[in-house]
Copies of this chain bind each other. A is one copy, B any other.
Amino acid sequence: MPQNQSIVLASRPQGAATAENFRLESAATPALQDGQVLVRHHYLSLDPYMRGRMNEGKSYAAPQPLGEVMIGGTVGEVLETRSPRFAVGDKVVGMGGWQLYSVVDAEQPGALRKVDTTHVPLSHYLGAVGMPGVTAWYGLVRIIDPQAGQTVVVSAASGAVGSAVGVLAKSRGCRVVGIAGGAEKCTYVVKDLGFDECVDYRAHADALSLSKALKLACPQGIDGYFENVGGMVLDAVMLRMNAFGRIAVCGMIAGYDGQPLPMSYPQMILVQRLKVQGFIVSEHMQDWPAALKELGQLVGSGRFRPRESVAHGLEGAPQAFLGLLKGRNFGKQLVKLV
């Protein structure tokens, strides 16, 4: 069996996560049991939700156990199989974790999914045509439910989720305004992704200043907001929401290190009769097929060209992940393992 390398959670962060919270380990891959397959990972996905799992406190998912392989989505190919459902060479997507190989119980529903790389590059099954894309689809379609002509705003607009929100909303006839950090990301959001406008939150010292910029970018107000960051950005958007606006709360990355993250203007929920709703995409599996179909068509046809930030080698995963939490990535953050 090939030699595996993996990254485990060595300790829980006190405040911001650091490289010392991770540890690289090495071991032989175990022999396969009936029904199992051995997958060689080509790419590991790095996503903000992983930061939440590193904490011990109450969250929507069990904390990542100390000493165990960090959770994470992976794409790769089947190297060995003792399952009739998978053949050697199949390209697959699963939750293989931060490691080079994984042994998967292939009979477990949803554990491993075969994908077609004819029109969609394998790595995109971790991004635009994977969990981040479906996350965008669910929040936009099921919570924001935008109508043609309405204005939709999304934060972290150049990221894997945010970029998909924008493309999906544009295809529904909406005015789409992104919020991102820095001129380079904003240019990409408008020129490459086709958003109508993008506001650079780093150019604003506080929520009121950012809110004024949003007023210019959204002259008709904001009908739907896809929230990835929380804090000052959320405050600024709430001041511009229209009556009966919808806010899909997908992430609040600004608060993942445990610092207080108050919402400054909750009275806007009443004043504008807003609906503010949190969700986790893994709890809505019934929507994945329709979402993946639409996203696959957008990517396969070239109408959606998602950008990727690729780190190389498993040992680079912690630094790439810490950079992601600080917004240093540009598009979907991946680690190439082959």
A224 contacts the other chain (Cβ, under 8 Å)? Answer: no
Verify B283–A278 contact, CB threshold 8 A.
Answer: no
What are the residues of chain B within 8 A of A269 when measuring CB–CB? 249, 276-278
A114 contacts the other chain (Cβ, under 8 Å)? Answer: no
Question: What per-residue 1/0 map shows which CB atoms of A251-276 lie under 8 Å from chain B?
Answer: 11001000011111111011111111
A243 contacts the other chain (Cβ, under 8 Å)? Answer: yes
What are the residues of chain B within 8 A of A252 when measuring CB–CB? 266-267, 270
Secondary structure class of chain A's binding surface, majority of residues: loop
Which of B265, B270, B283 is in CB contact (< 8 Å) with A249?
B270
* Distance between A21 CB and nearest chain B CB, rounded to angstroms: 21
Verify B273–A279 contact, CB threshold 8 A.
Answer: yes
* A252-B266, A262-B264, A262-B266 known; A275 vs B277 contact (CB < 8 Å): yes
Verify A261–B251 contact, CB threshold 8 A.
Answer: no
Provide the bound-state CA to CA distance between A266 and B273, in Å.
17
Tell me the nearest residue of chain B to A239, going by C-beta: B58
How many chain A residues sit at the interface, stated as a range, is: 20 to 34
Verify B60–A272 contact, CB threshold 8 A.
Answer: yes
A280 contacts the other chain (Cβ, under 8 Å)? Answer: yes
A127 contacts the other chain (Cβ, under 8 Å)? Answer: no
Which of B249, B262, B279, B283 is in CB contact (< 8 Å) with A263?
B262
Q: Which of A230, A261, A262, A265 has the most CB of B within 10 A?
A: A262
* Distance between A127 CB and nearest chain B CB, rounded to angstroms: 21
- Oligomeric state, in number of copies? 2
Tell me the nearest residue of chain B to A275, going by C-beta: B277
Verify B267–A261 contact, CB threshold 8 A.
Answer: yes
A234 contacts the other chain (Cβ, under 8 Å)? Answer: yes
Tell me the nearest residue of chain B to A283, going by C-beta: B273
Provide the bound-state CA to CA distance between A86 and B265, in Å.
45
What are the residues of chain B within 8 A of A266 when measuring CB–CB? 230, 234, 249, 252, 261-263, 266
Provide the bound-state CA to CA distance between A58 and B270, in Å.
12
What are the residues of chain B within 8 A of A277 when measuring CB–CB? 269, 273-276
Provide the bound-state CA to CA distance between A251 and B243, in Å.
16
* Distance between A242 CB and nearest chain B CB, rounded to angstroms: 12
What are the residues of chain B within 8 A of A267 when measuring CB–CB? 230, 252, 255, 261
* Distance between A56 CB and nearest chain B CB, rounded to angstroms: 14
A59 contacts the other chain (Cβ, under 8 Å)? Answer: yes
Tell me the nearest residue of chain B to A60, going by C-beta: B271
Question: What per-residue 1/0 map shows which CB atoms of A211-231 lie under 8 Å from chain B?
Answer: 000000000000000000010
Provide the bound-state CA to CA distance between A274 and B279, in Å.
8
* Distance between A202 CB and nearest chain B CB, rounded to angstroms: 22
* Distance between A207 CB and nearest chain B CB, rounded to angstroms: 12
Tell me the nearest residue of chain B to A227, going by C-beta: B270
10 contacts between A and B (CB under 8 A): A230-B266, A230-B267, A261-B266, A262-B264, A262-B266, A269-B276, A274-B277, A274-B278, A275-B275, A276-B277
List the 7 closest pairs (A to B, CB-CB), nearest first.
Answer: A262-B262, A263-B266, A270-B278, A263-B263, A269-B278, A276-B276, A275-B277
